[in-house]
Amino acid sequence: MIRHLLSLAAASSVLATLVLSVPAHAASDEAWVEFRTAVDAACTKATVGLLDDAAATVDPFGSESYGLALVTGAAKGSSRRASVICVYDKKTKEAEVGGILDLPSPDAATAAAPAPSARPLPSAAVEAPSARPLPAAADAPADYPFKGDCDDACRTNLAVLVDADRRQIAALPDQVLQTLAETRGGDETSGIAFARMAAERLARATAGETGGEGALKPAGAVAAGTRACTVYWFGFLDKPSQKVGSHRCKIDKDETEVRVTKLTGDGLTAQFLPLAGDLSAYAGRSYLAEQTERDYDGKHPDNEENANFGNKVGLAGLVDDQLALVSIDERGMSPQDPTFFEVIVVDR
């Protein structure tokens, strides 16, 4: 069916819809999460004969009749990156794919587009406040909410965040540990089990705990490069844990900053802010591809065209040499859920 629907010219239009257009719906309905999971699984399976190491970028809501996804991977039997458009019938639950499309790689697309780095985020390096690209928030930082020696550099990093975001980071450990205690046990994939362990390791590090499972290193020690990353949700509605999506993330490093950018799906650009010991916060912004707001901005926390996206903060660290970002941010979810948290794990 899809080969009759999509001419080569139409493919470009559909691709633009997939990557650039997402309806402004709040992510509060469990049915949408299940729908995206089904589209991801069906479309990835449908490309088995075309792509290796495939990862799907799913339109969150699709059209009235179809789910839509762009599946990217290595063309079968080669190392060449390629993409395939997938259409998922909402009634029959079946997926069909088109032919191989040679699209720019994430790195090439990032280089061609106006770079978010043209407006730099606050530096993750330990440096004087005057050297930071992003000014401190207007309100002075409260006392350090965790155990540990928060030196001048640590306090400077906290001053980048507005008070509401500092409160959110301070509340994160208890919310994570409470949710994990209530949902512990049961069968989980190895990916979910690692995300659970990493979240617990970061949460316990705020209390000064240095032992336990998972070796912790500063987030800024992550190696630069582009690689796979996975989003997991815990405590969302009646599901104790779930994999939300597989994506590509890029780590950029220079002498003054370490930055992570989520290249596929909903965008995220974040800067690491070292705190006490090996613990780091992260401050950044979520966005859709067509949105120009890409930096943490205390004065303008919501993206202008869609308030489901905007400032995002959390804790971060290398756990067993894998980067983990943990957040309790519920932007776009209503009502607020005191059990929810998200973990993004970036492969080594």
CB 345, CB 324: distance < 8 Å: yes
Looking at residue 256, what DSSP letter applies?
Answer: S
136 has a pLDDT exceeding 70: no
Q: pLDDT value at position 117?
A: 37
Say how far apart CA 116 and CA 52 lie, in whole Å: 30
- Chain-centroid distance of CA 75 in Å reads 26
Helices (H), 236-286: none
What is the share, in percent, of the chain residues with pLDDT greater than 70?
A: 79
The mean pLDDT of 145-170, rounded to a whole number, is 91
Q: pLDDT value at position 114?
A: 45
pLDDT digits (tens, 9 = 90+) for 289-344: 889 999 999 999 999 988 889 999 999 999 999 999 999 998 877 677 899 999 99
Band of residue 113 on the pLDDT scale cut at 50, 70, 90:
very low
Say how far apart CA 235 and CA 242 lie, in whole Å: 9
Residue 203: count other Cβ atoms within 10 Å of its Cβ: 22
> DSSP states of 163-183 as a string?
HHHHHHHHHHHHHHHHHHHHH
Token readout for 60 is 């969150």
211 has a pLDDT exceeding 90: no
pLDDT digits (tens, 9 = 90+) for 24-54: 344 445 778 888 899 999 999 999 988 988 8
* Chain mean pLDDT for the chain: 81
The mean pLDDT of 161-181, rounded to a whole number, is 94
258 has a pLDDT exceeding 50: yes
Say how far apart CA 348 and CA 346 lie, in whole Å: 7
Q: pLDDT value at position 334?
A: 67
Say how far apart CA 68 and CA 59 lie, in whole Å: 6
Q: In terms of Cα–Cα distance, which of 290, 247, 251 is closest to 269? A: 251
The mean pLDDT of 246-267, rounded to a whole number, is 93
6 has a pLDDT exceeding 50: no
Say how far apart CA 183 and CA 176 lie, in whole Å: 11
| Longest pairwise C-alpha distance within the chain | 64
Looking at residue 50, what DSSP letter applies?
Answer: T
What is the share, in percent, of the chain residues with pLDDT greater than 90?
A: 50
The end-to-end CA distance of the chain, in Å, is 40
Say how far apart CA 151 and CA 205 lie, in whole Å: 17
Helices (H), 239-291: none
Q: What is the pTM of this model?
A: 0.63
Give 42's contacts (C-beta < 8 A, 6+ positions apart).
Answer: 67, 86, 88, 93, 94, 95
Starting at the earlier edge strand, list the strands of the sheet with 66-75.
51-58, 66-75, 81-89, 95-97
pLDDT digits (tens, 9 = 90+) for 59-71: 888 888 899 999 9
Q: How far is CA 160 from CA 45, 129, 251, 257, 317, in A?
A: 44, 9, 21, 14, 19
Q: How far is CA 281 from CA 265, 273, 322, in A?
A: 23, 5, 16
Q: pLDDT value at position 142?
A: 54
Q: In terms of Cα–Cα distance, which of 289, 266, 296, 245 is closest to 110? A: 289
Helix and strand totals (H; E) in the chain: 7, 13
Name the least confident of 3-17, 23-37, 77-91, 117-131: 117-131
Band of residue 209 on the pLDDT scale cut at 50, 70, 90:
confident
